[in-house]
């Protein structure tokens, strides 16, 4: 048994060791913080982004754990840490555009998690029939009021066409009219709209060109509101998977839907369109695209568009082999930057109305979604294509319309 006299030095010794251990831990953490700060500051400088700087697009970090979180899982770490309030930027769109233009995303190596997520899409059909309606439930069914307060008056949830347009309503009207002209729409034509949304194109084509429309969507909310919006017109809105359509149409359009189809189903998608299109009809495919196959952003996939994947042009060209002739290809991807910024302006302006149903974390999530997508299109890493296809080739050639 130790006496009090001999126990005091022991306790002092242990306390000194604990103090030294804590000091050593603090030194290591401070060194790690300095290394992280230096690494990120140097990386961002290549895009003229200053860590904790004063430029509108600069990145301000409020939680030191941010650096490790992003290094471990770049896409998910950046998105989730913004949702958690760990960082801020006054111009997220411009920050993201600069990151992509400078290819900083390529300098931060992807994590094992990212590779596993991508492998999942390679090995499994993430857009199978059994999963077809998941995107409807998780994205489009979250509340029509959100979309009413964000989109144009026709509720078009795809890229507008800003040629000679001064506002979102005009840009979306231009796009709808452009589609009608590209397929040569005539009164009485029967048209299939694959992924019809709230029936914006169906309503416009019926009202302005006398078309008889059939639209299919996997969103219950879209189908119900779309039917109300198109009431009294020759428009049928169905809650139906595209693979189950089996009738003939004069023309087919698909505006912003193939992003949910997945590479394992591109050929099936093209076969359905070929099966349903008359021999002399035209198929207009409107889609976001990427530079190389298999682009799948983990954060977008988890929080915004589950099971989504952007197609590369070579994948679409391969999928239509022996089925379609490519008559026309139109890229107006910079118009999506303007469209997304207009959606963001509406979303923020109407947040007091919309936000009653959602919390602040959703607010930050949706803001991040709109602004990062705008930045991606501004940087030109994402594309927007309208592709006109025919089954046997237009006799005498197709005249491009812009």
Per-residue tens of pLDDT for the chain, all 402 residues: 455 455 555 555 555 555 555 554 444 344 445 556 788 899 999 999 999 999 999 999 999 999 999 998 999 999 999 999 999 999 999 999 999 999 988 876 554 444 444 444 444 455 555 555 676 666 888 889 999 999 999 999 999 999 999 999 999 999 999 999 999 999 999 999 999 999 999 999 999 999 999 999 999 999 999 999 999 999 999 999 999 999 999 999 999 999 999 999 999 999 999 999 999 999 999 999 998 886 778 999 999 998 889 999 999 999 999 999 999 999 999 999 999 999 999 999 999 999 889 999 999 999 999 999 999 999 999 999 999 999 999 999 999 999
Closest among 266, 265, 274, 276 to 392, alpha carbons compared: 274
The whole-number pLDDT of residue 113 equals 45
Residue-level pLDDT at 136: 66
329 forms bridges with which residues in the sheet?
387
**CA angle (73, 75, 78) in 5-degree steps:** 90
Question: Tokens for 25?
Answer: 């831990």
Place of tokens 């009738």: 247
Judge whether 250 and 278 are in contact, CB under 8 Å.
Answer: yes
Neighbouring C-beta atoms of residue 359, cutoff 10 Å? 9
SS3 helix, strand, coil % of the chain, rounded to 5? 55, 15, 30
Half-sphere exposure of 40 (CA within 13 A, CB side): 24
The pLDDT value recorded for residue 116 is: 45
CB 58 within 8 A of CB 89: yes
Residue 241 belongs to what H/E stretch? none
Q: Strands, E, within 23-169: which ranges?
A: 60-61, 87-88
Rounded (10°) CA dihedral 240, 242, 246, 248:
110
Q: In the chain, what is the greatest distance between 2 CA atoms, to the nearest angstrom? A: 108
Tokens of 81: 């840490």
Instruction: Give the residue from 135, 129, 51 showing the smallest Cα distance to 88.
Output: 51
Rounded distance between C-alpha atoms, residue 311 and residue 265, angstroms: 11
Domain boundaries, the chain: 20-120, 132-390
Q: Is 298 helix (H, G, I), strand (E, B) or coil?
A: helix
Torsion over CA: 344, 348, 353, 356 (sign) = positive
Tokens of 191: 């048209």
Classify the C-alpha dihedral 89-355-376-67 as positive or negative: positive
Close Cβ partners of 80 (under 8 Å, ≥ 6 residues apart): 69, 299
User: CATH classification of 132-390, choosing from 3.40.630.10, 3.90.1310.10, 1.10.630.10, 3.40.50.150?
Assistant: 3.40.50.150
Token pair, residue 50, equals 């200053």
Identify which of 376, 217, 210 has the alpha carbon closest to the alpha carbon of residue 300: 376
Burial of 321 (0-12, 13-18, 19+ CB in 10 A): exposed
Residue 271 has a pLDDT of: 98
What's the number of CA atoms in the CB half-sphere (13 Å) around residue 238?
14
Helices (H), 108-199: 112-123, 134-135, 144-148, 168-182
Show which residues are catalytic: 373
**Cα–Cα–Cα angle for 50, 54, 58, nearest 5°?**
40
How large is the angle between the packed helices 360-379 and 74-83, nearest 10 degrees?
140
Number of CB atoms found within 10 A of residue 329's CB: 14
Distance in angstroms (rounded) separating the CA atoms of residues 189 and 181 = 13
């Amino acid at each position: 048994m130790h006496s009090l006299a001999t126990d005091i030095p022991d306790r002092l010794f242990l306390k000194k060791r604990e103090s030294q251990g804590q000091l050593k831990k603090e030194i290591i953490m401070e060194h790690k913080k300095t290394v992280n700060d230096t690494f990120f500051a140097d990386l961002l400088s290549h895009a003229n982004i200053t860590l904790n700087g004063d430029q509108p697009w600069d990145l301000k970090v409020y939680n030191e754990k941010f650096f490790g979180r992003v290094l471990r899982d770049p896409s998910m770490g950046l998105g989730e840490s913004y949702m958690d309030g760990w960082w801020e930027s006054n111009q997220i769109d411009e920050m993201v555009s600069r990151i992509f233009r400078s290819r900083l995303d390529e300098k931060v190596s992807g994590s094992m998690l990212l590779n596993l997520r991508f492998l999942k899409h390679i090995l499994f059909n993430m857009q199978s029939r059994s999963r077809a309606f998941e995107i409807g439930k998780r994205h489009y069914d979250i509340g029509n009021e959100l979309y009413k307060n964000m989109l144009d008056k026709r509720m078009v949830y795809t890229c507008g066409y800003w040629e000679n347009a001064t506002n979102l309503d005009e840009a979306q009207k231009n796009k709808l009219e452009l589609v009608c002209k590209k397929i040569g729409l005539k009164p009485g034509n029967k048209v299939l709209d694959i992924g019809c949304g709230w029936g914006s194109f169906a309503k416009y084509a019926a009202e302005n060109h006398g078309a008889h429309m059939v639209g299919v969507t996997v969103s219950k909310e879209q189908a119900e509101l779309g039917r109300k919006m198109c009431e009294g017109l020759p428009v049928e809105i169905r809650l139906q998977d595209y693979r189950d359509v089996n009738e003939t149409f004069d023309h087919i359009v698909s505006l912003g839907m193939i992003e949910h189809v997945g590479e394992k189903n591109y050929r099936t998608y093209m076969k359905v369109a070929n099966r349903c299109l008359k021999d002399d009809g035209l198929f207009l495919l409107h889609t976001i695209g990427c530079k190389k196959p298999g682009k799948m952003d983990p954060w977008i996939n988890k929080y915004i568009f589950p099971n989504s994947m952007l197609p590369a042009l070579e994948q679409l060209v391969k999928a239509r082999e022996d089925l379609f002739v490519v008559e026309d290809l139109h890229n107006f991807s910079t118009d999506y930057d303007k469209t997304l910024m207009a959606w963001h302006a509406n979303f923020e302006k109407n947040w007091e109305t919309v936000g009653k149903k959602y919390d602040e974390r959703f607010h930050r999530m949706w803001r991040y979604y709109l602004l990062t997508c705008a930045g991606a299109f501004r940087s030109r890493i994402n594309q927007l294509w309208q592709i006109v296809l025919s089954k046997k080739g237009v006799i005498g050639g197709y005249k491009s319309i812009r």
